Amino acid sequence: MIPAPVLELRAVLPLGVLALGAIAVLVLDLVMLDRSRLFGRSVTRAFVGTLLSLTSAVFLIVVLVLGVQNLVHGSTAVFNVANPLVQLDPLANFGVLLVAGGTLLVCLMSVAYLAELDINHGEYYALLLLSASGMVLLVSATDLLSLFLGLEVTAIPAYVLAGFDRGRRRGNEAALKYFLLGSFASAILLYGMALLYGATGATTLEAIRQAEVASSPLALAGMGLVLVGFAFKVSSVPFHQWVPDVYEGAPASVGGFFATTVKAAAFVALLRLLAVALGEGASWVAPMLAVLAALSMIVGNTMALIQQNPKRLLGYAAIGHAGYLLLGFVAATPEAYAAVLFYLTAYLFMTLGAFAVLVALANRGHDLERIGDLAGLAKKRPALAGALTLFAISLAGIPPTAGFLAKFQLFAAVVGAGHVGLVILAVGTSVLSAFYYLRLPVLMVMREPEGPPPRLHLASGEWLVVGVCALAVVTLGLLPNGLGVDSPSLLPPALDWSRDAITALLASR
């Protein structure tokens, strides 16, 4: 007789809440649209969209609160001690905050945008929540099986979201490309996992480290393939081909979702994989990651120079940022890992902010397709232009913004690990990136307006998201650890949390 396993449901609570949220949104959508009535009153489609967005927001806020509570207490919950598939430790909680926070912002900024593009369907929010639940699984997975499950649950709704604007050929192309290349990468990843299992006889990350990957060529090959799969997910060169096409073809809000939330979750999972499954004896992986990082920085930032489509530009910029983030994995010190987490936080706000501005600029059913259309925006919409300038400055890494502090911390850790050459390359490509980021404010402020005027009225959700992101970019740049040094802090101490997450992760293995 098999004894019933002791399950700790706390470990899967965020996951459950999000999955439940997805179902609730679907049902609500079905009920309301079917009858077009709510409590005896007829409802419009716009009202339904708002209601669904707010419903999703409630579920996401619950998850956020759970994550903050867990982080404050520093607690760790393992779903099943006998067979630890899922573990909600501080690192996972940090990931949950990024995922839920990013998804929340995407939900809020989508309401008016979807209506503008005439794709105001309720599935949108359900797919976002479903993908987010996959990401929560991804960041808390301690086993190859749950890792793969998390990746797929994240990716499949994402494929659908990429082509959410069904009427547009670009969107269909993006979805198909994302799906084909994504499945291909998943297959490679799965093959690598199979090889790892064959060589080590284990699927948990902990057991794989104890089996010493480097000792067996089979396991080495397996790990290499897994890394290739992840390189695709985090959009690193040379596995980046899909990024610009998908970002360009997908609606702007979905592009922001891919660039920030999905990427953050993949990076957190990669962090756990490298730190736990490889441990210290992984000197062989550093040169490989260094090549990926260098290529991503060079190719991403160079290609971004010549882009004319703002979403495509942000896509190539995202590749460049993936290169910077990979630097942290090359250094592989606790400081570097903590810096990666902080960078992800800063990156989430500044990139999502930039996408939110694009969302707010969507006009007459179309996204902003040419960078030149930004010309003279400062005259017509000074606040929006100011916000985009702030995000561009932060993305370029100029103080006193979050982007600068994140780069500073990351580069300091990488120099500390002795990789000065890479850091010199990184600051060189940063200067290159400043060139294309600067184009945005230059166009908005220094050129005369041309073309059709932008939308006159901004939805409150869009204002809210742009404002929150701008505030976060400034606050994380000046007070990354909240207010007060020892006293209880008013703002979330992002720096302390990122450090604690890494400390707990490394101590537990």
* Helix 285-305, helix 310-331: angle, nearest 10: 160
What is the rounded CA–CA span in Å between residue 411 and residue 430?
A: 12
Q: Which window, 45-53, 287-295, 307-315, 393-401, contacts another protein (CB under 8 A)?
A: 393-401
Instruction: Please report, for residues 107, 234, 315, 316, 346, the alpha-carbon distance to residue 241 in angstroms, rounded to integers and kept in the order given.
Output: 27, 12, 10, 10, 25
Asked if 495 interacts with another protein (CB under 8 A), we say: yes
Interaction between residue 187 and another protein (CB under 8 A): no
Q: What is the largest CA-CA distance in the chain?
A: 78
Full 3-state SS string of 217-256: HHHHHHHHHHHHHHHHHCCCCCCCCHHHHHHHHCCHHHHH
CB of 495 to another protein, least distance (A): 7
- Give the nearest distance from C-beta 407 to another protein in angstroms: 9
> What's the angle, vertex CA 239, arms to CA 236 and CA 241, rounded to 5?
105
Query: Per rule CB under 8 A, is residue 415 in the interface with another protein?
Result: yes
CA angle 233, 234, 237 (to 5 degrees): 100
Under 8 Å CB-to-CB from 47, ≥6 apart: which residues? none
Stretch that binds another protein, among 208-216, 298-306, 397-405, 501-509 (CB under 8 A): 397-405
446 belongs to the binding site for another protein (CB under 8 A): yes
DSSP letter (8 states) at residue 400: T
Instruction: Give residue for tokens 């992986």.
Output: 285
- Note whether 418 binds another protein by CB under 8 A: yes
Interface pattern 452-491 for another protein (x via CB under 8 A): ----------------------------xx---x------
Q: Site for another protein (CB under 8 A): which residue of 115, 176, 202, 442?
A: 442
Strands 87-88 and 37-38: unpaired
180 binds another protein (CB under 8 A): no
d(CA 356, CA 124): 17
Among 184, 191, 197, 408, binds another protein (CB under 8 A): 408
User: Binding of another protein at residue 333 (CB under 8 A)?
Assistant: no
Comparing CB distances to another protein, the nearer of 177 and 439 is: 439
According to the binding rule CB under 8 A, does residue 412 interact with another protein?
A: yes
CA distance 297 to 316: 10
CB-wise, 319 or 393, nearer to another protein?
393
> Do residues 161 and 209 lie in contact, with contact meaning Cβ atoms separated by under 8 Å?
no
Which residue, 62 or 286, is less far from another protein as judged by CB? 286
Interacting span for another protein (CB under 8 A) from 64-72, 246-254, 322-330, 437-445: 437-445
Among 47, 83, 435, 483, binds another protein (CB under 8 A): 435
Q: Which stretch binds another protein (CB under 8 A): 147-155, 350-358, 433-441, 459-467?
A: 433-441
Identity of residue 503 = T
Task: Considering only the stretches 34-42, 226-234, 364-372, 405-413, report the one whose residues sit in contact with another protein under the rule CB under 8 A.
Answer: 405-413
Nearer to another protein among residue 107 and residue 346 (C-beta): 346
- Write the burial class of residue 487 (CB in 10 Å: 0-12 exposed, 13-18 middle, 19+ buried): exposed
Sites of contact with another protein (CB under 8 A): 393, 398-400, 404, 408-409, 411-412, 415-416, 418, 420, 423-424, 427-428, 430-431, 434-435, 438, 441-442, 445-447, 480-481, 485, 495
